[in-house]
Amino acid sequence: MNKPLRVLLVDDSAVVRQTLSEVLSSDPEIEIMATAADPFIAADRIAEEVPDVIVLDVEMPRMDGLTFLQKLMTQRPIPVVICSSLSAGGTETTLRALEYGAVEIVTKPRLGTQEFLRESRETLCQVVKAASQARIQLMRPVEPALTADAVLARGAPAAMAHTTEKVVLIGASTGGTEALRVVLETLPVDSPGMVIVQHMPEKFTTAFAARLDRLCSISVKEAENGDRVLRGQALIAPGNRHLLLKRSGARYFVEVRDGPLVCRHRPSVDVMFRSGARYAGRNAVGVLMTGMGNDGARGLLELKQAGADTMAQDEATSVVFGMPNEAIKLGGADRVLPLNKIAGGILGACQ
C-alpha cells in the first residue's frame, strides 16, 4: 500500500490546528506529519522532514504566510494549500498567494455546523490530495501571446451590446486560477461571451473576478442571477452556488442557484456544461482545464454529443491532470491543447 500523504499544518490558532488535524486525519490516505504556530517553527519542521503538502494560514505573528510562501517557492518548492477564514479584507491578499505559487485556497471549517464541517472535510481532503500531485515547476506564470490590444484598444463595435451566437463555457479547478488568467488575458476585447466555473470558496470569487477584470481586455465579473451573456464579457460562478446557462429567444443569460454538491462541488462544472448542452447545443464551445477529480468530464461529453466544439487542457501544462484526463478518456474532447493554445482554440471555434 502507498504511504499516507504527510501534511504540515501552519496556523497560529491552536483550535484551528486541532480542527484541521482531526478533519484531515479522518482520511486514511492523509497523515499529519507536524503542526506549527508560525513560519519560523514550520521552517524547523521542514528541516527535520520535508512534507508532501503544507496547509498554510495567511495572517500569523513574526512572519505572514505570503512572505513564507515566497521564500519557500524560491528556496525549496513544496505544494502549499492556503486555508483562510475568508475575512472580506483578506481575500485580495489571499488571492496573491496563488500568484506566488500556492496550489489552492480552501475555507477554514466553522465549528458547530455539522453540514459545513462535513463538506469541509470532503473539500480539504480532496484539495490536499490534489496538491500532492501538483506540478509545482509549472506554477510559474505563462506569458500570454499579446495582441494589438496591448498597444491600442479596439473601439467597441455596436454588436457588443447584443448576445453573441456562440457562447463559451469553461470549467477549472486546482491550478485553474492562474490558468484562467493566462487564457483570458490573451483574448481580445470583442471575444465571445463566456460562462466560467472555477472551484473556489464563497466570497473569493468576487475578488477573483475583480482581479481578472483589471488584468484583461475583456470584462470579467462575478455572475448574478439573470445576467446576460454578452460579447467581451466573462461571468464567473459565485462560490457555493451553481451556475446554469439559459436562453430566452436568441439571448443567453445565466441562472445562479443553490443545490446539492455535484461531483463534490458547488458550483459544479458538470451542471454548467449540461445547461450549455441543453440551451446552446452546437452554438456552445466547451473547455475543461486543470483540476483534480472528474467534475466536468461527463458534461463535456454531453456538450460534444449536442454538437458543441469541445477541448481539454493537455497533461504537460495542467497542474493536476484529473478533470481533463477523465473527459479525454470518455471521448468528450474534440481536441487536447496546451494552455498557451486554448485562447486561440476558443477564437477559432467561434469564427
Instruction: Give the residues of the chain that fall short of pLDDT 50.
Output: 1, 138-164
Per-residue pLDDT, 149: 40
| Domain match, 330 and 295 both | yes
* Total residue length of the chain: 351
129: three-class secondary structure by DSSP: helix
Distance of alpha carbon 272 from alpha carbon 242, whole angstroms: 8
Q: Are strands 233-236 and 219-222 parallel, antiparallel or unpaired?
A: parallel
Q: Of the residues 38, 227, 270, 295, which is catalytic?
A: 295
| Domain match, 194 and 313 both | yes
Per-residue pLDDT, 163: 45
Q: Of the residues 11, 191, 199, 265, which is catalytic?
A: 199
52 annotated active-site: no
127: three-class secondary structure by DSSP: helix
308: three-class secondary structure by DSSP: coil
| Domain match, 213 and 296 both | yes
Sign of CA pseudo-dihedral 91, 235, 342, 282: positive
| Domain match, 180 and 327 both | yes
Q: Is residue 324 domain-resident?
A: yes
- Cα dihedral 191, 193, 197, 202, rounded to 10, equals 100
| Domain match, 122 and 251 both | no
13 annotated active-site: no
Per-residue pLDDT, 92: 77
Q: Is residue 207 domain-resident?
A: yes
| Domain match, 178 and 315 both | yes
Q: What are 31-47's pLDDT values in tens digits?
A: 999 999 999 999 999 99
The per-residue pLDDT of the chain, averaged, comes to 86
21 annotated active-site: no
- Which CATH number goes with the domain that contains 37? 3.40.50.2300
| Domain match, 253 and 340 both | yes
| Domain match, 306 and 252 both | yes
**Taking the mean position of all CA atoms in its chain, how far away is CA 292?**
10
Distance of alpha carbon 104 from alpha carbon 218, whole angstroms: 25
pTM: 0.79
- Which CATH number goes with the domain that contains 175? 3.40.50.180
Q: Of the residues 84, 132, 173, 268, which is catalytic?
A: 173
| Domain match, 126 and 77 both | yes
Per-residue DSSP letter, 13: -
Q: Is residue 323 domain-resident?
A: yes
| Domain match, 254 and 117 both | no
What residues make up the domain containing 43? 5-138
Per-residue pLDDT, 183: 97
Longest Cα–Cα distance of the chain, Å, equals: 64
Please give the angle made by the CA atoms of 75, 78 and 84, to the nearest 5 degrees. Answer: 110
| Domain match, 191 and 303 both | yes
Per-residue pLDDT, 76: 85
| Domain match, 165 and 119 both | no
